[in-house]
């Protein structure tokens, strides 16, 4: 499709059809027939938005039903189907589950990250999905943030390098770009400074009229908790109900405010986007957070003046989940704010009829200029054309046979082995395969769901042993010599039986986004008691930590003879056994500095601390 044909298509569209292209709906909220009737531009599966049964074949049929319906609409504009495949196509049962990005950051290996993305793309294409809401290129400055696990590092340069590699792996299947049948459109997120928000600025930690400490930069206002803003946040809290398990809004950082100057915004948080644009990023998702007192989804200066104007981005901007709703208590005002700021496609995701009617009425009243609508739709059509959607590229049934295949899992196993960071070793590692007896404790040792963490089958993950893969315990059994005895008790109750080696595995419970915000990063009492119990029952004690960030373990470190940070390694626990038993050398390096205590959080406090971190960024024993 040439630019002239795009213009011709645009000229023949009604206002309702244009708005339809700007609308993205969650699949549980719309049928294929409704997609056809309203010319909807995109459908997504949110976390847990899976067909029944949740198999690759069912996914292929589900996506095809929506795509086929879109092609029967009056203008026959193909659909973009999107998912969050942030560590593999993990919405699908049986997918290859890679380490979360914090683990990939520990590898420091851009070629490996590119290959991880390529496997992810092939498993997406197998199911007909052509749009991945990845890579995240956040640069977290506070590890209490629940999305730290999705971020490669607190270091801008490493995030930039690995974000580029992941985008290339998705989009450039064979050096031919997006039009290749096995290319997947990436979506770089979340623009911008989502990793720079300040603890307690996500809402109600402040009182009405109270200022939450901006630096008074020219052109920005202090973040003040107004009654209007309070109403939006309360509506938001009620909509998600039990998702907010960690108490008051003020005990959160996700979707908060980045209280930083423009120089810091540009030097710390913008470089990954600059590199992504150079590497062909065509879609960017906007952050639910704020820069000072203005939500990014309403920030015309950053979205339109900087990103589209100064930086020349001619792809399209998509909103995050329900983001427009939070811009103003009046929905009509909120929609106009978002579209006029520069949003091109809106992840509604549920009440799409209300959104479409509101935007149509806003155009008819002159609140939203027709030119802004045409610009948005032109961008969407251009990207769909570049991605080969008008050429009928769909699922590749031949790739179904490689979905979750041994070849794909071998890449994941390599990624696990290269991501594990050896924090301490007093001669306990590598383990001997012919050791007489090993005691393994901690329920996480035999729980693939805890290895995988959030964004795995369900939004917040699926703890338990049902996810296909290899647990660490299974990998230990497969690795040791026949004469070695491996005993497992989740609670570490081994009576008086001594062991040459004890292995304790502790894990954060699975979480995603705001549900992972944690004010207290210390281990729970039951884990501390387990460690102390095991210390008394073995000659050498090895600790393994599954987590989406550094945890506060200073008091526990002396109990261990060896200690490893395994992050959230995914489905291939054999990669962890590979390094524990010395089949693969330790090579991982910390992508985040590891604080001694809570006084060294956030990063600025750690950098100002005279004592220094427990372990610095890029630390790792060989």
Chain segment 89-132, per-residue pLDDT in tens: 999 999 999 999 999 999 999 999 999 999 999 999 999 999 99
| Residue 305 maps to a domain | yes
Average pLDDT over residues 468-494: 96
Helix (H) or strand (E) holding 335: helix 331-341
Work out the average pLDDT over 277-282.
97
- Over the stretch 382-391, which tens digit does the pLDDT of each residue have? 999 999 999 8
pTM tops 0.85: yes
Q: Which of 26-30, 179-183, 189-193, 569-573 has the lowest mean pLDDT?
A: 179-183
Q: Does residue 415 lie in a domain region? A: no
pLDDT at residue 90, as a whole number: 96
Instruction: Tell me, yes or no, whether 438 and 488 share the same domain.
Output: yes
DSSP 288: S
Residue 161 and residue 245 in one domain? yes
Between the CA of residue 541 and those of 266, 393, 425, 482, what are the distances in Å?
A: 45, 54, 10, 22
- Kindly report, residue by residue over 483-504, the tens digit of the pLDDT: 999 999 999 999 878 899 999 9
Check which CATH number belongs to the domain holding 567 and give it.
3.40.50.1700
Q: What is the pLDDT of residue 1?
A: 55
Bridging pattern class, strands 421-425 and 562-567: antiparallel
The verdict on residue 563 lying in a domain is yes
Residue 284 lies in a domain: yes
384/434 same-domain check: no
Of 345, 366, 400, at which residue does a domain stop? Answer: 400
Confidence band, pLDDT 50/70/90 cuts, at residue 334 = very high
- Selection from 33, 92, 24 nearest residue 66 by Cα: 33
CA 566, CA 577: separation in Å to the nearest integer? 11
Q: Which two tokens stand for residue 613?
A: 């971190």
Two structure tokens written together for 340:
């006029």
- The pLDDT confidence band at residue 168, using thresholds 50, 70 and 90, is very high
Number of separate domains in the chain: 2
CATH code for the domain of 370? 3.20.20.300
Quick one: pLDDT at residue 203? 65
Q: Among 400, 432, 461, which residue terminates a domain?
A: 400
Same domain for 462 and 515, yes or no, is yes
Last residue of a domain, one of 337, 371, 400: 400
The string of pLDDT tens digits covering residues 347-400 is 999 999 999 999 999 999 999 999 999 999 999 999 999 999 998 877 888 899
CA separation for the pair 319, 352 (Å, rounded): 14
Give the pLDDT of residue 260: 98
155 and 257 within one domain: yes
Predicted pLDDT of residue 573: 98
Report the pLDDT averaged over residues 19-30.
98
- Tell me if residue 425 falls in helix, strand or coil: strand
pLDDT value for 397: 84
Q: Is 236 left (phi over 0), alpha (psi -120 to 50) or beta?
A: alpha
The reported pLDDT for the residue numbered 524 is 97
Q: Is residue 108 part of a domain?
A: yes
Q: Does the pLDDT of residue 217 top 80, yes or no?
A: no
Asked if 366 and 496 sit in the same domain, the reply is no
Mean pLDDT throughout 141-146? 98
Q: How confident is the model at residue 240 (pLDDT cuts 50, 70, 90)?
A: very low
Is residue 482 located within the same domain as residue 368? no
Choose the weakest-confidence range: 41-55, 198-212, 407-421, 492-506. Answer: 198-212
Residue 249 has pLDDT above 50, yes or no: no
In a domain, 428, yes or no: yes
| Stretch 553-571: mean pLDDT | 98
- Predicted confidence band at 606 (pLDDT cuts at 50, 70, 90)? very high
Asked whether the beta carbons of 411 and 121 are under 8 A apart, the reply is no
pLDDT in tens, 287-307: 999 999 999 999 999 999 999
- Report the distance separating Cα 614 and Cα 593, nearest Å: 8
Kindly report which listed range (37-41, 210-214, 450-454, 594-598) carries the lowest average pLDDT score: 210-214
Query: What's the average model confidence in pLDDT over 271-280?
Result: 97
Do residue 178 and residue 233 come from a single domain? yes
In this structure, is residue 405 part of a structural domain?
no
Query: Annotated catalytic sites, by residue?
Result: 320, 513
Q: Please, what is the average pLDDT of the chain?
A: 92
The yes-or-no verdict on residue 342 having pLDDT over 80 is yes
Residue 102: alpha-carbon gap to chain centroid: 10
Range of the domain at 549: 420-608
| pLDDT band of 434, cuts 50, 70, 90 | very high
Average pLDDT for 319-344: 97
Of 477 and 465, the structure prediction assigns the larger pLDDT to 477
Q: Are residues 394 and 467 in the same domain?
A: no
Specify the pLDDT at position 179: 83
Instruction: Say whether both 523 and 604 belong to one domain.
Output: yes
Distance CA 170, CA 177 (A): 10
Is 220 among the domain residues? yes
Residues 461, 380 share a domain: no
- Is residue 299 domain-shared with residue 445, that is, in the same domain? no
Strands 290-291 and 294-295: antiparallel
């Amino acid at each position: 499709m040439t630019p002239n044909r795009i213009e011709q298509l645009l000229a023949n569209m009604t206002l309702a059809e244009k708005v339809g292209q700007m609308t993205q709906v969650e699949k549980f909220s719309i049928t294929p027939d409704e997609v056809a009737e309203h010319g909807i531009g995109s459908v997504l599966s949110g976390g847990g938005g899976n067909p029944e049964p949740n198999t690759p074949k069912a996914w292929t049929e589900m996506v095809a039903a929506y795509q086929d319906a879109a092609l029967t609409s009056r203008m026959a504009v193909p659909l973009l189907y999107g998912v969050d495949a942030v560590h593999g196509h993990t919405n699908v049962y049986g997918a290859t589950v890679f380490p979360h990005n914090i683990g990939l950051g520990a590898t420091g290996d851009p070629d490996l990250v590119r290959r991880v993305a390529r496997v992810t793309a092939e498993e997406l294409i197998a199911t007909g999905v052509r749009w991945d809401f990845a890579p995240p290129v956040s640069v977290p400055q506070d590890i209490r943030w629940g999305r730290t696990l999705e971020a490669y590092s607190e270091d801008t340069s490493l995030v930039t390098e690995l974000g580029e590699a992941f985008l290339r792996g998705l989009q450039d299947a064979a050096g031919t770009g997006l039009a290749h049948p096995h290319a997947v459109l990436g979506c770089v997120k979340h623009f911008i400074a989502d990793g720079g928000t300040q603890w307690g600025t996500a809402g109600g930690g402040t009182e009405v009229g109270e200022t939450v400490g901006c630096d008074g930069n020219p052109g920005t206002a202090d973040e003040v908790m107004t009654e209007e803003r309070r109403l939006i946040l309360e509506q938001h809290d009620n909509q998600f109900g039990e998702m907010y398990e960690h108490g008051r809004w003020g005990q959160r950082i996700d979707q908060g405010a980045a209280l930083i100057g423009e120089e810091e915004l540009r030097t710390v948080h913008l470089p990954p986007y600059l590199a992504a644009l150079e590497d062909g990023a065509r879609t960017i998702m906007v952050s639910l957070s704020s820069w000072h007192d203005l939500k990014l989804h309403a920030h015309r200066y950053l979205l339109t003046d900087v990103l589209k104007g100064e930086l020349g981005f001619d792809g399209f901007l998509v909103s995050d989940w329900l983001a427009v709703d939070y811009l103003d208590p009046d929905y009509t005002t909120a929609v106009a704010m978002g579209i006029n700021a520069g949003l091109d496609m809106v992840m509604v995701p549920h009440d799409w009829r209300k959104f479409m009617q509101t935007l149509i009425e806003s155009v008819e009243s002159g609140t939203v200029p027709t030119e802004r609508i045409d610009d948005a739709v032109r961008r969407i059509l251009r990207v769909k054309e570049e991605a080969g959607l008008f050429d009928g590229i769909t699922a590749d049934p031949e790739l179904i046979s490689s979905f979750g295949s041994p070849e794909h899992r071998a890449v994941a196993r390599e990624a696990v082995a290269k991501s594990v960071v050896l924090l301490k070793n007093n001669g306990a590692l590598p383990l001997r395969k012919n050791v007489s007896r090993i005691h393994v404790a901690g329920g996480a040792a035999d729980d693939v769901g805890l290895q995988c963490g959030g964004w795995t089958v369900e939004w917040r993950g699926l703890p338990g042993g049902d996810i296909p893969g290899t647990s660490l315990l299974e990998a230990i059994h497969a690795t040791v010599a026949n004469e070695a005895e491996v005993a497992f008790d989740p609670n570490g109750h081994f009576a008086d039986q001594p062991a040459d080696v004890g292995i304790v595995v502790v894990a954060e419970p699975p979480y995603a986004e705001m549900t992972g915000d944690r004010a207290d990063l210390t281990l729970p009492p039951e884990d501390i008691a387990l460690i102390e119990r095991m210390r008394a029952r073995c000659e050498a004690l090895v600790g393994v930590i599954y987590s989406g960030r550094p945890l506060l373990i200073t008091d526990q470190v002396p109990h261990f003879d060896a200690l490893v940070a395994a992050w959230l390694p995914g489905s291939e626990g054999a990669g962890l056994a590979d390094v524990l038993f010395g089949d693969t050398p330790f090579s991982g390096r910390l992508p985040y500095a590891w604080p001694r205590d809570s006084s060294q959080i956030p990063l600025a406090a750690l950098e100002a601390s005279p004592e220094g971190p427990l372990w610095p960024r890029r630390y790792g024993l060989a």
